Amino acid sequence: MKGQTVDDVPKEVLIDCAHLVKANSIQGCKMNNVNVVYTPWTNLKKTADMDVGQIGFHRQKDVKMLTVEKKVNEILNRLEKTKAERFPDLAAEKETRDREERNEKKAQIQEMKRKEKEEMKKKKEMEELRSYSSLMKAENMSSNQDGNDSDDFM
């Protein structure tokens, strides 16, 4: 989900996943106290000189570990009963998600532009209120040439 990290995954889900990993491992299913390592996919590092199935990590700090002491059949049976296999069209799903992200980004940019225009309009109105341009109009002015002289001190 968007905005979630590996730390947001509930502990129960991690335990279920770890039991599935142990049960589906060729060597791990025969052993007790198996360490299951998990990390975000962006932290995985694969180079050409690595063997098949071998991976490395970009940041060791992002690698988390969970220990499965022994096989718990109740968990595995519950998960096996609720198993649902799907064969999704990943390319179409990715394109849909990318389109939604682009539309969301466009909407954010349009909102920013709208706010910017609104701020410019308010700024212009404030500048107009501060300036004397609205006061300095010919129809608002009077002249003392037409005998309207208020200076009576002479």
pLDDT value at residue 99: 97
- Max distance between CA atoms of the chain, in angstroms, equals 119
* Both tokens assigned to 80: 């096996």
| Rounded-to-integer distance, Cα 121 and Cα 127, Å | 10
Please count the other Cβ atoms lying within 10 Å of the Cβ belonging to residue 22. 25
pLDDT in tens, the chain (154 residues): 677 787 888 899 999 999 999 999 888 888 889 999 999 888 999 998 988 888 899 999 989 999 998 888 899 999 999 999 999 999 999 999 999 999 999 999 999 999 999 999 999 988 888 877 666 677 766 666 666 556 666 5
CA torsion 108-110-112-117 (nearest 10°) is -170
Quick check: 28 and 62 in contact, CB under 8 A? no
Which one, of 50, 128, 16, lies nearest residue 24 by Cα?
A: 16
Q: Amino acid letter at 60?
A: Q
Give the predicted TM-score (pTM) of the model.
0.58
**How far is the C-alpha of 28 from the C-alpha of 70, rounded, in Å?**
10
